[in-house]
Chains A and B, each alone.
Chain A
Amino acid sequence: MKKGRTILEKERFQLTLERLCHQLIESYDDFTDTCLIGIQTSGVLMAQRIKKCLATILPKSNIQSGNLDITFYRDDFRLREKPLQPSNTTIDFNIDDKRIILVDDVLYTGRTIQAAMSALQDHGRPAQVEMLTLVDRRFNRHLPIRADYVGITVDALDEAYVQVNWEEADGTDKVLLFGAKRNL
């Protein structure tokens, strides 16, 4: 596989996450009735990291968090060669009237987020849903969806592929940009 170009290295990665946390604090204050929902699988890693980071900045905040799997809600389910392996959904609280921050690492076509929103509807009726992403590929959207909190913006061709590495899963934090699509 061709080597990707690092567009966000470890230190700036951490700074970006911290900035996102401060932005969240600005709009959510002490996080009453607020929960972070990470989208499986890498959005979950990001949500956990954001939660940890918030806890160091605001030790008193006790924000709830959950994982959402959207496999069964995908619109491309029958178009794929192979079925996707579902992951767990763990939302151990009622999301009715909660303020929800959906977390995913890359916002690309917007289809994942659309599926996530229909999945959320099956769990209840939140008061408000906002979207947080580490990488926003703003020129590749298929749907009228945007993120409210953005780590970095990447303007790349449709053929390009953005990969986020997480310390927990890949050993180090960084964002890579590949010229051509990875074979999945």
Chain B
Amino acid sequence: MSSSSQLSTRHVLGIKYLTEADIRLIFKTADNFKEVINRPIKKVPSLRDVTVANLFFENSTRTRLSFELAEKRLSADVVNFSASSSSVKKGETLLDTVNNILSMKVDMVVMRHPAPGAAYFLSQHIDANIINAGDGTHEHPTQALLDAYSMQEKVGDLKGKKIAIIGDILHSRVALSNIFCLLKLGAKVQVCGPPTLIPRHVEKLGVSVSYDVRKTLKWCDVANLLRIQLERQDIKYFPSIREYAQYFGIHQELIANAGKKIVIMHPGPINRGVEISSEVADSKDSIILQQVENGVAIRMAILYLLAANR
């Protein structure tokens, strides 16, 4: 059996640490799980001897539900934890919290944390497999994988395809993971947004930068729109939400002006009328809901491949 049936890593901490072969293996495995989740009985027994802890130190609905469904459909035992209802409030450190949970014999940890690098830090100290479900403004690898998987499903192999990421690039972990993932798959990437929300030197990653949403839409095959992360913005980066919507919000007229078919994506939660108009979000070129469906298949594939790597 060829070595490409195995991930090169024990953890999924970020796309940065995955190889192109890993990404393609995850996609291939996700194809099989997609078939499973469309069956009348959506469950397989692969992970029946695995216990997974979902540690969410930050709010989440989609990612958390998606992970929990993926775990349950693989027959894993699941424990959930959210910071708002835990001892973290009483002053416990991250390492202590996690070590306590691991003493209860947990095999895998899915973690979301507001501090960049939290998942990496944990992987240096504990033995369980770790999946990063978002660490601050750093990475959100499973989201990037499901985004790229959904794009591939819609437009075919991503080699040479033009992908635009539009919105709050500075505070978005989805943007960074997307950039790493798409570049590894050979796509061309352009980021677009107000200058204050584009990180300086971002072009060093190998992407192009644009401040004009019309030009970007004319250029791209796929547009991935990002939410303005007000909760992470310590200062004002633009005059008002209304002005942002006026200059960078994607609406039907802008798409018509581009004069071609553009696949519209959004990792959610969407702010209708800000970065995307309702018309565009609900149009037939929008694959926002397919992204959510694929999310479960991608997460099942990652859990499965990591469990096999223990």
Which of A's residues lie within 8 Å of B, judged by CB? 69, 71-74, 77-78, 80, 82-89, 118-119, 121-124, 184
Contacts and interface: CB of A to CB of B under 8 A. Distances in A.
19 contacts: A71-B32, A72-B44, A72-B74, A72-B304, A78-B307, A82-B6, A83-B5, A83-B304, A83-B308, A84-B1, A84-B5, A85-B5, A89-B35, A118-B45, A121-B41, A122-B39, A122-B40, A123-B39, A124-B40
Contacts of A71: 32
Given A82-B6, A83-B309, A73 B44 contact: yes
B29 A86 contact: yes
B234 interface: no
Given A123-B41, A184-B1, A72 B308 contact: no
B44 A122 contact: yes
Given A72-B45, A88-B32, A83 B40 contact: no
Most A C-beta atoms less than 10 A away, residue of B3, B5, B49, B309: B5
A95 to B, nearest CB: 10
Contacts of A85: 1, 5, 28
A86 B32 CA distance: 7
A88 B310 CA distance: 25
B32 A69 contact: yes
A83 B49 CA distance: 16
Nearest to B3: A82
A69 B35 CA distance: 11
Contacts of A86: 29, 32
Give 3 closest A-B pairs by Cβ, nearest first.
A83-B308, A72-B44, A122-B41
B36 interface: yes
Interface in B1-42: 1, 3, 5-6, 28-29, 31-32, 35-36, 39-41
Contacts of B44: 72-73, 119, 122
B288 interface: no
Contacts of B6: 82-83
Interface in B128-154: none
B43 interface: yes
A121 B40 CA distance: 11
Interface string B39-61: 11101111001000000000000
Interface of B: 1, 3, 5-6, 28-29, 31-32, 35-36, 39-41, 43-46, 49, 74, 304-305, 307-310
A72 B35 contact: no
B310 A82 contact: no
A74 B264 CA distance: 39
Given A82-B1, A88-B32, A123 B45 contact: no
A85 B2 CA distance: 10
B46 A72 contact: yes
Nearest to A77: B46
A118 B41 CA distance: 12
Contacts of B305: 83
Contact of A88 (B35, B40, B308): B35
B50 to A, nearest CB: 8
Nearest to B36: A72
A80 B308 CA distance: 8
B35 A78 contact: no
B308 A122 contact: no
A121 B308 CA distance: 24
Contacts of B307: 77-78
Nearest to B1: A82
Contacts of B5: 82-85
Nearest to B305: A83
Nearest to A124: B40
A121 B41 CA distance: 9
A122 B39 CA distance: 8
Contacts of A119: 44
B40 A123 contact: yes
Nearest to B6: A82
A115 to B, nearest CB: 9
A83 to B, nearest CB: 3
Contacts of A74: 46
A77 B307 CA distance: 9
Nearest to A94: B40
Contacts of A122: 39-41, 43-44
Contacts of A78: 49, 307-308, 310
